[in-house]
Amino acid sequence: MLLDDLAAEHQVLDDLVTPLPAEVWTTPSPSPGWTLAHQIHHLDVSEGAALLALTGHSDQVFSPTGRWPDRPLPDDPTEVLDNWRASRAASLEAMAALDAKAPVIWGNGPMTCRSFATARLMETWAHGLDCFTTVGAEPTDTDRLRHVAHIGYRALPYAFHSQGVTPPTPLSELRLDLTSPSGERWTYGNPNAPQSITGPASHWCRVATRRMDAADSDLIAAGALAQAVLTVARAYLSDGAAS
């Protein structure tokens, strides 16, 4: 199911950019200095890095300078798109061949293959939002966002640590009570936790991927910890946040 959801996110973005004329690919995106072509190229390059990690070559991904293997952005949008299609297909095939709990070395340490696939879905969706914004189209939120919502919650220890912020109270005192795009209730954390973040799951996912400012969202934070979470949240997994 997770890999099916990942493939579906790939396809949504593919369907958005495939019919676009070449001149649209040079439109500036929300990421400073990046065009629409840069967004898809980034996903291509990151899928190539993912394939190296999935096949036991993480040492080729994380060099002493911390930069991934890269290649120049092609001038032809068709080549950019074809490259991304090939790289994402290869990484999906590699993930399908591994057990869900198989370790994948990424960044500071290992995460499970399942968590790694979730991170790939999160990145595809987040950069997809940038692409939708670039072309002036409105994305359709789906319940595939449960993966992004989950990773945003699980990555909270890393989010605080990476930004040098100490939670005002233990993270165990927080619960998320979110409403999915289909109207389901998604909860994370102890249901009796004294502090909470409530509101649309789609807004939580956008805040956690830094695509929306919490002040512009419909999320309600009750408690100092909850308010701090909306400030530091980022849906990036470390080894400690992997499930």
- Name the burial class of residue 200, with classes exposed (0-12), middle (13-18) and buried (19+) by CB atoms within 10 angstroms of its CB: middle
Domains of the chain and CATH, by start? 2-135 (1.20.120.450), 145-241 (3.30.1050)
The Cα–Cα gap between 237 and 186 comes to 20
C-alpha–C-alpha distance, residues 156 and 151, integer Å: 9
pLDDT in tens, 181-206: 999 999 999 999 999 999 999 999 99
What is the CB-side half-sphere exposure of residue 159 using CA atoms within 13 A? 21
Model pTM greater than 0.85? yes
Percent of residues, the chain, with pLDDT higher than 90: 86
* Ranges of residues in the chain whose predicted pLDDT is under 70: 63-69, 108, 237-243
Determine contact, residues 58/105, Cβ cutoff 8 Å.
yes
> 3-class SS at 212?
coil
Instruction: Compute the Cα dihedral for 201, 151, 142, 85 and give only its sign.
Output: positive
> Judging by beta carbons within 10 Å of its beta carbon (0-12, 13-18, 19+), is residue 239 exposed, middle or buried?
middle
* Cβ within 8 Å of residue 227, ≥6 positions away: 221
What pLDDT is attached to residue 76? Answer: 97
The pLDDT value recorded for residue 243 is: 31
